[in-house]
Amino acid sequence: MIPLGALVLCWAAGKSLAEPMPVIKNSDTIEEYLSRYGISVEEHFVHTDDGYILRAFRLPRPSSPVVLLQHGILASAWCWLVNTVDKSLAILLWQMGYDVWLPNSRGNTFSRNHTTLKPFLNKEFWNFTFDEMATFDVVANVRYVLNVSSQQKLTFIGWSQGTTQMFIAAQAQHKEYLDMHVNLFVALSPVSYLKHQTSTLLAVAKDFRLGQILEYAFPYDVFTWSELPTIGSLLCKVTFGKLCTLTIDVVCGSSPHDSEKAIANLAAHFPAGTSVKDFDHYEQFLISDRFGRFDYGRAENVKHYGVPDPPSYNVSAIGMPLALFRGSADTLADPLDVHHLSNDLKDNENVVFSKEYAGYSHVTWMVGVDDEWILDLKNLLEVFNPIMPRIIV
């Protein structure tokens, strides 16, 4: 068999050495944008067991191996498309021959539908965190994608909160199903513990308990692109000028490896929104240095969990092949916190890859100019989710 990497290099040799950076506007749609590259897009709606309707985009290659890309907090399917063609992971994987799926987490701009609840009428619609995304959304997406594609397995690539979702899902009630049907879990900037993070947004959140303030000011959703001016003004007042903008670098940090033009493209559809409770769940990790379920207070915890303290997640129980991609300059998934996670996994033989990339930020995977990590990912896919050799023109 011809190595997959060799085929990709052959394809790339016929392309321009310097791929042009696209310009993405807030008015662009994913379908219109990908049509510039001759890529057709399918729109799918995934129903969860608790009634949420999630929108997913497919870059179809029927009968080909499947890769599912799960975005991070405040992001959307757009995050996989904002770089040059040879660096935008969704486009690159499709060009390599994969059937690529881009789901959207509940509550972001693409996934604001429910069978009974209305997002701007029913506060209950927003009663979720990444725990519910892990419990309901992950398995719903995997089942739907495998059913439509008629495949038995897929590769799950998560970034930031996308990794949090799978870390939880893979040790919860659907563990057996996911272990059977996920041939590789790639964790880009794995987020679990947050004690050492230095993100400006989360640092201020910890100091000023922003979760409580935001819940009062925004009883439904929070952090959507259209709300940026209002949020910026509020944050500036309550933090006494310490946080007055909500830009990519404030949330995620940045690196010399990151393209300013790609960051601008990412910002065109960022932030895409989430629930205040989702943000508050992460804020709890900042204060308590734990990785566990939502803390309602001791009395309410007994009602929810049967014990006064919220249970911790058992990531050591993950039974699927796991690859950890870490950045040394990551302010959200700080190397010390990822080391804590790695220590929880030290006896887990399913960790097949773990590497720290010098100078990578939390968003380098989306907006970076360096391709070291892409080459490593291609090598992993050759082993765990290979495609039949073909020439892509």
* pLDDT tens-place string over residues 296-324: 999 999 999 999 999 999 999 999 999 99
* pLDDT at residue number 388: 78
Q: Return d(Cα 388, Cα 393) in angstroms, integer.
A: 15
Helical residues (DSSP H) of the chain, grouped into ranges: 4-13, 30-35, 89-96, 130-132, 138-149, 161-169, 175-181, 200-208, 210-217, 228-238, 248-252, 260-267, 276-288, 298-305, 335-344, 364-367, 372-384
Q: Take residue 350 and report the two structure tokens written for it.
A: 């399913």
Hey, what domains does the chain have and what are their CATH numbers? 22-384 (3.40.50.1820)
pLDDT at 240 over 60: no
**Active site residue ranges:** 160, 330, 362
Q: Are 361 and 252 in contact (CB under 8 A)?
A: yes
pLDDT of residue 14: 38
pLDDT-derived band of residue 4, with 50, 70 and 90 as boundaries? very low
Helix axes 372-384, 89-96, angle to 10 degrees: 40
Confidence of residue 276 (pLDDT cuts 50, 70, 90): confident
Contact assessment for residue 89 and residue 188, using Cβ atoms and an 8 Å cutoff: no
> In the predicted model, is pLDDT for residue 224 greater than 70?
no
pLDDT at 237: 53
Name the pTM for this structure. 0.89
Instruction: Read off the DSSP letter of residue 312.
Output: B
pLDDT at 179 over 70: yes
Q: Residue 270: what pLDDT? A: 82
What span, in angstroms and rounded, lies between the C-alpha atoms of 123 and 360? 38
**What pLDDT, on a 0 to 100 scale, did the predictor assign at position 120?**
86
Residue 204 has pLDDT above 80, yes or no: no
- The reported pLDDT for the residue numbered 283 is 87
Whether residue 244 has pLDDT greater than 50: no
Model confidence pLDDT, tens digit, residues 116-172: 999 988 999 999 999 999 999 999 999 999 999 999 999 999 999 999 999 999 999
Q: How confident is the model at residue 198 (pLDDT cuts 50, 70, 90)?
A: confident
| pLDDT attached to residue 337 | 96
Handedness of CA 26, 32, 38, 44 (dihedral sign): positive
Query: Other C-beta atoms within 10 Å of 288: how many?
Result: 15
State the pLDDT confidence band at 11, using cuts at 50, 70 and 90: very low
Average pLDDT of 56-81? Answer: 98
Please tell me the predicted confidence (pLDDT) of residue 225: 47
| pLDDT greater at residue 239 or residue 147 | 147
- pLDDT category, 199, cuts 50, 70, 90? confident
pLDDT higher than 80, residue 236: no
Q: What is the pLDDT of residue 234?
A: 53
pLDDT of residue 382: 98
The confidence score (pLDDT) of residue 320 equals 98
Q: Which residue has the higher pLDDT, 106 or 267?
A: 106
- Mean pLDDT, range 267-275, rounded to an integer: 87
Section 194-203 average pLDDT: 79
357 three-state secondary structure: strand
Q: What whole-number percentage of the chain has pLDDT above 90?
A: 72
Whether the predicted pLDDT of 391 surpasses 90: no
